[in-house]
Amino acid sequence: MTIHSGSCLCGIIKFEIEGDFEQFFLCHCAHCRKDTGSAHAANLFSVSANLQWISGQDKVTFFNLPSTRHSRNFCSACGSALPCEQGNLLVVPAGSLDTDLSIKPNAHIFVSSRAVWDHALETAPVFEKFPS
């Protein structure tokens, strides 16, 4: 059984995921772009994995966007995205994991909502660190 560890940016919240992820999607919907402040969310999905909060569970804040199925957990101290259980579905922001993943994204989804600047990004210059 695979065990993944994760945490928030400030380190107050730590968690473990026991089990495997069935799907890995890069979601370009407007809700996910707002959640991340980026071009897309990178979320792992599982109906069989188990989430265990190791520390800081009292700092986990839940938000559900009214009249939608869109919900998320985040750290109330630093704002980092955290795993969220939605019924029998576990949604884990890939960037919240501290362990490496062996799977790659299955697909880009909701590309009809893609940001107008999110095209041909592989052609942008690449720097090893912040450019001087």
| Per-residue pLDDT reduced to its tens digit, 2-31 | 999 999 999 999 999 999 999 999 999 998
Class in CATH terms, 3-113: mainly beta
Instruction: Give the CA-trace dihedral at 73, 56, 23, 107, to 10 degrees.
Output: 60
At 1 the pLDDT is 76
User: Please, what is the average pLDDT of the chain?
Assistant: 93
Is the model more confident about 122 or about 94? 94
Q: What is the pLDDT of residues 14-73, one digit of tens each?
A: 999 999 999 999 999 998 899 899 999 999 999 999 999 999 999 999 998 888 788 899
CB burial of 63-76 (b: ≥16 within 10 Å; e: otherwise) equals eeeeeeebebbbbe
What is the residue extent of each domain of the chain? 3-113
What is the pTM for the complete model shown? 0.90
* DSSP alpha helix (H) spans, the chain: 30-36
Give the whole-angstrom CA distance, residue 116 versus residue 48: 36
Task: Give Cα separations from 84 to 31, 45, 90 (angstroms).
Answer: 15, 10, 6
